[in-house]
Amino acid sequence: MRILGIESSCDETAVAIYDAEYGIIAEHIASQIETHAKFGGVVPEVASREHLKVLPALVPQVLNEADCDWKDIDGIAVTAGPGLMGALLVGVTYARSVGLVNSIPVLPIHHMEGHLFAPGLSDEGLPAFPFMSLLVSGGHTMLIRVDGLGQYQVVGQTIDDAAGECFDKTARVLGLPYPGGPEIAKLALNGDASVFNLPRPMLNKPNFNFSFSGLKTAVIYAAKGCANFDTQTKADLAAATELAIADVLTKKSINACKAENINNLVIAGGVAANRTLRTMLDKVSEQEGIKLYVPSLKYCTDNASMIAYVGAMRFERGQTIHNDWDANPRWKLPELS
């Protein structure tokens, strides 16, 4: 079985082909980061136009790389939400059109479900169900108990900003370009986190929810309070922010595993690429007897391989193809489906 995956929910146009026997046989990501960086964030209308320009050429290119023709493709998996409406519509409309013309079934895939299973593309693969998943991206911060494909229970989530959003907003305070996460991580390498004492929001609350908007405000006040906001001070503040985010994510994830009596923790989403977070989780989970599963760096941020992979899981399960679906920018990860 071969599944073509299409991802266009935000600022990456991505196409990949997953083969049930060989794994990912071709993949490509066309990033729009440079286009949006000059605006300091993603401009939805610009994103849609870029997808429209890039996608029709990228699909034949990836088919070609995989030495495939449409007749070799058994199913198309396309991100149908959540994300930017116009951006999603480009992928969904394209997928539906080529599906119709070539008589290939098309499945809508939830973007966060793609992230959730992305570690399954690594050599180590995923643990057996149930496992705990920490999903940390630009728009989501969630702890999910995963009992099977489509069997999700949200154990905790952010009540305001997502962790990635906090990285991006802090980066703006520090005068760094979009996307902020990798920039903060780079700057933090030269910083001393102990210079600033930033809060760990909701760390000691008896639940697994997160809140990052207060941390962002604390960073703004810390920056304003600096008489000399030079490069070293910015690096110190970047390191302190990164450490505060990693600390909260690590402790809440481990506590959630313990509360649910689960020994396997999976992390995914763009923020899962953060080295400080990965190192801290690695250390603490080992101390607590919890096994950690991480996606390879290229499958942390948005890509189509994760969409093709989940598509293959769902096609394999014999998921019925309905036609009554559409792009849904606010599609919620169903707690149980």
Give me the residues that bind ligand KG4 (CB under 6 A), please: 10, 115, 137-139, 164, 167-168, 179-182, 185, 269-271, 273-274, 301-302
**Cβ(73)–Cβ(15) under 8 Å?**
no
Question: Considering the complex, what minimum distance in angstroms separates the CB of residue 300 from Zn ion?
Answer: 9
**Cβ(250)–Cβ(284) under 8 Å?**
yes
Question: Considering the complex, what minimum distance in angstroms separates the CB of residue 176 from ligand KG4?
Answer: 10
13 binds Zn ion (CB under 5 A): no
Binder among 48, 137, 170, 276 for Zn ion (CB under 5 A): 137
Residues whose CB falls within 8 Å of the CB of residue 127, separated by 6 or more in sequence, listed in order: 264, 266, 291, 293
Q: Would strands 291-293 and 106-110 be described as parallel, antiparallel, or unpaired?
A: unpaired
141 binds Zn ion (CB under 5 A): no
Question: Considering the complex, what minimum distance in angstroms separates the CB of residue 318 from ligand KG4?
Answer: 28
**Cβ(157)–Cβ(142) under 8 Å?**
yes
Question: Considering the complex, what minimum distance in angstroms separates the CB of residue 73 from ligand KG4?
Answer: 25
CB neighbourhood size of 53 (10 A): 14
Q: Counting Cβ atoms within 10 Å, is residue 50 exposed (0-12), middle (13-18) or buried (19+)? A: buried
Q: Which is nearer to ligand KG4, 179 or 201 (CB)?
A: 179
Q: Which is nearer to Zn ion, 117 or 196 (CB)?
A: 117
Q: Which is nearer to ligand KG4, 200 or 258 (CB)?
A: 200
302 binds Zn ion (CB under 5 A): yes
CB neighbourhood size of 170 (10 A): 29
Question: Considering the complex, what minimum distance in angstroms separates the CB of residue 135 from Zn ion?
Answer: 9
Q: How far apart are CA 172 and CA 148, in angstroms?
A: 39
Q: Which is nearer to Zn ion, 19 or 302 (CB)?
A: 302
Q: Which does 168 bind (CB under 5 to 8 A by kind): Zn ion, ligand KG4, none?
A: ligand KG4
Which region among 157-165, 193-201, 271-279, 302-310 touches Zn ion (by CB under 5 A)? 302-310
Q: Which is nearer to ligand KG4, 66 or 141 (CB)?
A: 141
